[in-house]
Structure 1
Amino acid sequence: MTISVPVLETLRSAFLRLNYTIDGVHELLGDDAFQALFRHEPVPAWLATTTPQERETSPLAPLVRLLLLGEPQSAEEISALFDVAGHDLADLLDSEIFQMEDNGLYRVALDVRPANTGFGNQWVFSDLDGALFPAATRKDHVLGVGEASLSLLRATPLDTVDSLLDIGTGCGIQALHGSHYAQRIIATDLSPRCCELAAATLAINGVYVAPEGGLLQEKTVPSGPRVEIRQGPWFDPVADHEFDAIVANPPFVVASEKITHSYRDSGLDLDGATELMVRQSPQYLKEGGHATILGAWVHEQGRDYRARLAQWVPSKGVDVWIVERDCVDPALYVATWMKDSGRDPADPQWRDYAAQWLGHLADHSVAGIGFGMVFMRKATGPSTLLIEELTAPEGDALAAESLSRWERWDNLQQWSTDELLSQRFALSPQAVFVDTATPSSNGLGTENSSHSVYRSDIPSFRHTIDEPLRAVLNGLSRDGLSAGDVAELLCTVQGWDWDIFRPAMCSALHALYLHGIITL
Structure 2
Amino acid sequence: MSDPRELLAGLRADLRAADYTVDGVARLVGDVASAALDREQPLPALRATAGSREPGAVLLRLGTLGRTVTRGELDAALPRTGTAGAAALGLVAAAGAAPQDEVRPLVDLRPYAADDAGEPVQWWLVSDLGEVATGDVLRPDHVLGVGGASLTLASATVRTPVDRVLDVGTGCGVQALHAARHARRVTATDTSERALDLAAVNAALNEVALDLRHGSLLEPVEPGERFGLVVSNPPFVITPRTGAVPTYEYRDGGMAGDSLVAQLIGSLPSVLEPGGVAQLLANWELHEGQTWSQRVEGWLEGTGLDAWVVQREVADPALYAETWIRDGGQKPGPRFDELYAAWLDDFAARGVDGVGFGVVTLRRPARDGAPLRRFEENLAALSDPLGEVFAAGLAAHDRLALVEDLGDLRLTVAPDVTDERFHTPGDPDPRIVLLRQGGGLRRVAQVDGDLAGLVGACDGELTVGQITAGLAVLGEEAVGEVRQRLYPRVRSLVADGFLRLP
Contact 1:166 1:175 survives alignment (8 Å): yes
Name the residue aligned to 1:117. Answer: 114
Residue identity matched to 1:433: D
> Offset at 1:11?
2.2
> Offset at 1:316?
5.5
Name the residue aligned to 2:178. Answer: 177
Contact 2:112 2:123 survives alignment (8 Å): yes
Name the residue aligned to 2:473. Answer: 492
Contact 1:325 1:370 survives alignment (8 Å): yes
Name the residue aligned to 1:154. Answer: 155
Relative distance call for 1:408 and 1:147 in structure 2 (3 A) is same
> Offset at 1:513?
0.6
Query: What TM-score, normalized to structure 1?
Result: 0.87
**Superposition pairs of residues 316-355 of structure 1, within 5 angstroms:** 317-344=304-331, 346-355=332-341
**Superposition pairs of residues 116-515 of structure 1, within 5 angstroms:** 116-118=113-115, 119-132=120-133, 134-207=135-208, 226-240=209-223, 241-257=225-241, 260-315=247-302, 317-344=304-331, 346-379=332-365, 380-381=367-368, 382-394=370-382, 397-416=385-404, 419-437=405-423, 440=425, 448-458=430-440, 460-480=442-462, 482-496=463-477, 501-515=482-496
Distance 2:349 2:428 in 1: 52
Residue identity matched to 1:231: H
Residue identity matched to 2:71: A
Residue identity matched to 1:107: R
Name the residue aligned to 2:40. Answer: 40
Relative distance call for 1:336 and 1:120 in structure 2 (3 A) is same
Distance 1:273 1:436 in 2: 47
> Offset at 1:204?
0.4
Relative distance call for 1:446 and 1:268 in structure 2 (3 A) is farther
The alignment partner of 2:139 has SS state of coil
Residue identity matched to 2:59: L
Distance 1:476 1:82 in 2: 59
Distance 1:239 1:59 in 2: 46
Contact 2:58 2:69 survives alignment (8 Å): no
Relative distance call for 1:473 and 1:306 in structure 2 (3 A) is same
> Offset at 1:141?
0.8
Distance 2:437 2:14 in 1: 44
Residue identity matched to 1:205: N
Is the deviation greater in 6-15 or in 330-339?
6-15
The alignment partner of 1:312 has SS state of helix
Residue identity matched to 2:114: T
RMSD (Å), alpha carbons: 2.5
Contact 1:69 1:133 survives alignment (8 Å): no
Contact 1:313 1:383 survives alignment (8 Å): no
Which of 66, 69, 78 pairs up with 1:70?
Answer: 66
> Offset at 1:455?
2.2
> Offset at 1:320?
1.2
Contact 1:325 1:373 survives alignment (8 Å): yes
Distance 2:464 2:303 in 1: 33
Distance 1:45 1:133 in 2: 17
The alignment partner of 2:75 has SS state of helix
Which string of whole-angstrom CA distances, capped at 9 and with x for unpartnered residues, describes residues 237-258 of structure 1? Answer: 1132111111111001123345
Distance 1:348 1:486 in 2: 68
What is the count of residue pairs matched by the alignment?
A: 486
Is the deviation greater in 379-388 or in 325-334?
379-388
Distance 1:316 1:32 in 2: 48
> Offset at 1:96?
3.1
Query: What TM-score, normalized to structure 2?
Result: 0.90
Residue identity matched to 1:154: S
The alignment partner of 2:497 has SS state of coil
Is the deviation greater in 279-288 or in 482-491?
482-491
Distance 1:190 1:499 in 2: 60
Is the deviation greater in 169-178 or in 389-398?
389-398
Distance 1:445 1:312 in 2: 50
Distance 2:429 2:343 in 1: 52
The alignment partner of 2:299 has SS state of coil
Distance 1:308 1:372 in 2: 13
Q: Report percent identity of matched pairs.
A: 31
Residue identity matched to 1:507: P
Distance 1:413 1:445 in 2: 41
Name the residue aligned to 1:210. Answer: none
Is the deviation greater in 448-457 or in 231-240?
448-457
